[in-house]
Amino acid sequence: MTGRDGGAALTRDPRAPVVILVRPQMGENIGAAARAMANGGLFDLRLVAPRDGWPQESAFRTSSGAFSILEAATLHATVADAVADLARVFATCPRERHVIKPLLTARGAAAELRAVAAAGLRAGLLFGPERNGLDNDDMARADTLVRFPMNPEFNSLNLGQAVLVMAYEWWNAADATPARVLATHETRIATKAQLENFMRHLLAELDACGFMRVPGKRPIMAQNLFHLFQRGDITEQELRTLHGVVAELTRGRREFGRVVLDENDLPVG
């Protein structure tokens, strides 16, 4: 096998669910599934009767470096064998089935998988073959069905995408990233005093050039400008730039007596 060097170093979380691909047809899809597992912190892969045997070079090629998952994958003759040591089995199931089982969304399943893991139990996720999905005998080994809410006009996912949705939901079910933060990194957000200082500079120059000619309108115009510059989490560096912009723009007025405001407002004398 070629191309195994340089695979990603992946940590195995022993509480994470096992991914079980049932009779997968294409090696490429096994590789895509391994890649998606790595994205969501899943590691243990079990293959039930892959059509073209195992290992397959095509799987390594499409795994984007998730080699350690493929190398540790185990081969099983039957679903019963692949789930033998597990306490809970979830079956992904895009189509309606006439069986009585709890049916979860991907997000609901991820929450239950976290609860199962927290109880010290091991769970498995069954994914069916590319074309036909899991058969009724496979389904009879599952405790719970999982169906992803998707556009009903177009709800087919390939194997790698289906594994990605579950792996993504598993990861996100325990992820503490706030839904919204402010990316600041190296530069610093200006303080309100720094903003106030710039606004004084700007308003003084606007008063000087006559921009706010109608006296009664000055307060509302000043407020509007305050609102505008308040909005964008302005940084210290950006304020320095704006001070420079105002200084440069007003140089024209100083040199020629009056700044050009627009084409209808030409400089006089």
Site map for a second copy, 176-195, x if CB under 8 A? Answer: -xxxxxxxxxxx-x------
How many C-alpha atoms does 71 have within 13 Å on its Cβ side?
A: 14
Q: Is residue 216 at the binding interface for a second copy, with CB under 8 A as the rule?
A: no
Total residue length of the chain: 269
201 and 229 in contact (C-beta within 8 Å)? no
Q: Is residue 121 at the binding interface for a second copy, with CB under 8 A as the rule?
A: no
Q: Is 138 or 250 the residue whose CB approaches a second copy more closely? A: 138
Q: Is 12 or 254 the residue whose CB approaches a second copy more closely? A: 12
**Does an H or E element contain 90, and which?**
strand 88-92
Instruction: Write down the residue that tokens 């996912």 correspond to.
Output: 157
Q: Shortest CA distance to 124 belongs to which of 109, 102, 137?
A: 109
Other residues' Cβ atoms within 10 Å of the Cβ of residue 207: 13
Question: What sign for the dihedral angle of Cα 204, 229, 259, 247?
Answer: positive
Q: Is 141 or 259 the residue whose CB approaches a second copy more closely? A: 141
Contacts with a second copy in 30-89 (CB under 8 A)? 35-36, 38-41, 64-66
Contacts with a second copy in 138-157 (CB under 8 A)? 145, 148-151, 153-157
Q: Is 13 or 205 the residue whose CB approaches a second copy more closely? A: 13
Q: Which positions touch a second copy (CB under 8 A)?
A: 8-11, 35-36, 38-41, 64-66, 96-105, 107-108, 111-112, 145, 148-151, 153-158, 160-161, 164-165, 168, 171-172, 175, 177-187, 189, 232-233, 235, 238
